[in-house]
Structure 1
């Protein structure tokens, strides 16, 4: 009898309470050793295969024909998007984002977006990021307790996104509120009630409609223009798909960078010798940003659906089975990383899956790592050490490894 036939699993990786205090890396390590393709029953669903090993996740990710992300097959989340919508809130006015579309159509979307992220388009964006980061850091009170999420980790990537979308910088606070609500389906602070979520969606859709109509009438060179105007499969974009792809852009361009930055500051608090290495040799940041993302694993998982009977490793997978790729486990895989649980800014020459892998790897990954590099270069000039004042409050989420706050002291040099 295989694992799938043994009845209710002892461990439920879908349970958001499992991640309330910390990511259960010890549990992931046990599963990698004992059941690397683990059957997880669901109280409210059909169950899913949890894929824990780096090698297996890469194999699945590079084979979208067999392992689909398509909306009609359930999409990219544990819940079925074709039943409960992109954000799990059942909204019918939100279209299908390209993360929930398979190649070749997915590839068309990526080609449509990439010009907005090309060096020619971005120009000296690094200097603009540096100026924004410098201004934010100058406003932080040193040598006293502050919430660094609100003062730095959240605003910096959202201000960058505002530039990429061609909207006013002060919109970042609205974007922050909206993106938390989109991905916070299991957190009562972000989903206080269906009525509150409905109001959030009304506000966001009003923003989207105005932006869509403006970019259609007066196109520019920003991402919003491309999402509003570039034909896909010979068809002009419609508002509902613009909304779906804007949600994807905001979540992808914000949550990963924000939470990688916050977790890295926690790591520097708990491993001051690593911060000493950065201060002594800031050139390490050219490669250390990959270690920041690997160790943080800001996105815990993504989901696929098998389109045919197949195998993952030695495990049979049936057509229609859900397959959940646990990036946070793969990024601590002992077969790939020496001392995988350690945070080591000198680590080099590895392939993490913190931004995904294969067809769906994050299109903005280089920009995310640029922001991490720039902000820690600037902090290295001014911060002697980081002191953690209290354990941060975490998102109640099985999807994002998020921190709601991070109370620290930046001790000035």
Structure 2
């Protein structure tokens, strides 16, 4: 509580020029909302002159984020201009990192070719095929959970369900699926945050990932095309010229996109049920509310905190002079709390009108490819939760992911009430 009070006071009194909302410690203790609230009110297009990632602009209001996200002429995602995330080292081999270009880090027309190679995986017919499998796995998992005993929801619910789905999408050897979780965590971290000690260790683990998938690629290329992501890539004419790092870039995008985001929303579901028990009770009484619960959980959690663009020409935006080459960061986490667009944005409201009006999937050509699959997984999760439990209680303070990109949890101790 003292930390929250201190942050609220600091956010109120600190000079705006000293604000750095990329500071990972703010995300570790979920203390960032007072800073974003002040930026939205006083400096919605804000320049941070010095950070771990260099200088950058923050875009914090809902409609401004949409304007940047859909302006592909002046704001680039292409890895050759920088990156699509704040941390260049994730992609650009700075400080010992490794370059991993993928279609999130590409502009048109190359972006469209790469995205089309894997988009059939989330076609409506495939989603229908997946629903029974998702439900069966979710039921089996909930059947195994203890009632009235404390356990880690992240380890026993969020990770298993998302990793099983990701293994299915990739047709990845099921016995080795824990590797997918590890690689997903490694690609979104920096040395010193508890997962890897050095850039060299991170690179070595990602090279292991590349080697494993290269074997799968070689196997799938020799077989007739199938409906899994690796087979789709292996048989796509447009993907045949990929370099090893191109392939790795595509892989990490599919792994993180198919894993971290849904995992964080599943963990956020437990936290929302805990913090808003009256809303959970309302949902139990009226299962038709699932149509608004699913997008509301994804808005309220906002599993990806930001995406970044690079200005490719001088731009005047909302009265600010953004120079060619400047980093421009769209803080989805802030836009989803914009009081001028979303009523009571800090609250989780199961019957929220226009619940789909959120930023979590992005806009424009880079809108989340797997959004419908993510919503299907969250829908089934909530259906099973509402059938089985009167209350989901979070015990103690959860441990959050040390990241300004992935907004999620490492550990969340919960107790289920039948």
Alignment TM-score, normalising by the size of structure 1:
0.92
Indicate how the Cα distance of structure 1 residues 192 and 364 shifts in structure 2: closer, same or farther if over 3 A, else same: same
Does 2:204 correspond to 1:231? no
CA distance in 2, matches of 1:277, 1:315: 45
* Cα contact 1:231–1:237 (8 A) shared by 2: no
- Deviates further, 239-248 or 327-336: 239-248
Instruction: Report the equivalent of 1:10.
Output: 18
Does 2:405 correspond to 1:393? no
Does 2:49 correspond to 1:41? yes
Runs of 4+ in 1 over 6 A off after TM superposition: none
State which of 345, 354, 359 in structure 1 corresponds to 2:360. Answer: 354
Indicate how the Cα distance of structure 1 residues 186 and 292 shifts in structure 2: closer, same or farther if over 3 A, else same: farther
Indicate how the Cα distance of structure 1 residues 293 and 23 shifts in structure 2: closer, same or farther if over 3 A, else same: farther
Instruction: Report the equivalent of 1:91.
Output: 98
State which of 56, 66, 69 in structure 1 corresponds to 2:77. Answer: 69
Does 2:222 correspond to 1:222? no
Matches within 5 A, 1:258-269: 258-269=263-274
CA distance in 2, matches of 1:82, 1:360: 18
Instruction: Report the equivalent of 1:379.
Output: 385
Instruction: Report the equivalent of 1:4.
Output: none
| Structure 1 unmatched ranges of 5 or more | 1-6
Does 2:332 correspond to 1:324? no
Indicate how the Cα distance of structure 1 residues 89 and 283 shifts in structure 2: closer, same or farther if over 3 A, else same: farther
Indicate how the Cα distance of structure 1 residues 46 and 153 shifts in structure 2: closer, same or farther if over 3 A, else same: closer
Task: Report deviation, 1:375.
Answer: 0.8
CA distance in 2, matches of 1:374, 1:71: 36
Alignment length (residue pairs): 402
CA distance in 2, matches of 1:213, 1:50: 43
Task: Report deviation, 1:81.
Answer: 5.2
Does 2:133 correspond to 1:133? no
- Deviates further, 196-205 or 321-330: 196-205
CA RMSD, 1 decimal: 2.0
| Structure 2 unmatched ranges of 5 or more | 1-14
Instruction: Report the equivalent of 1:101.
Output: 106
CA distance in 2, matches of 1:339, 1:8: 25
CA distance in 2, matches of 1:352, 1:248: 22
Deviation track 1:34-87 (CA, whole Å, cap 9, x = no partner) reads 00000012245541110001111101111112110000000111132597449x
Task: Report deviation, 1:387.
Answer: 1.1
Indicate how the Cα distance of structure 1 residues 83 and 106 shifts in structure 2: closer, same or farther if over 3 A, else same: closer
Deviation track 1:252-306 (CA, whole Å, cap 9, x = no partner) reads 1111111111112111111111110111111211221111011101111010001
Instruction: Report the equivalent of 1:282.
Output: 287
CA distance in 2, matches of 1:209, 1:351: 40
SS of equivalent to 2:400: coil
Alignment TM-score, normalising by the size of structure 2:
0.91
- Deviates further, 196-205 or 372-381: 196-205
SS of equivalent to 2:330: strand
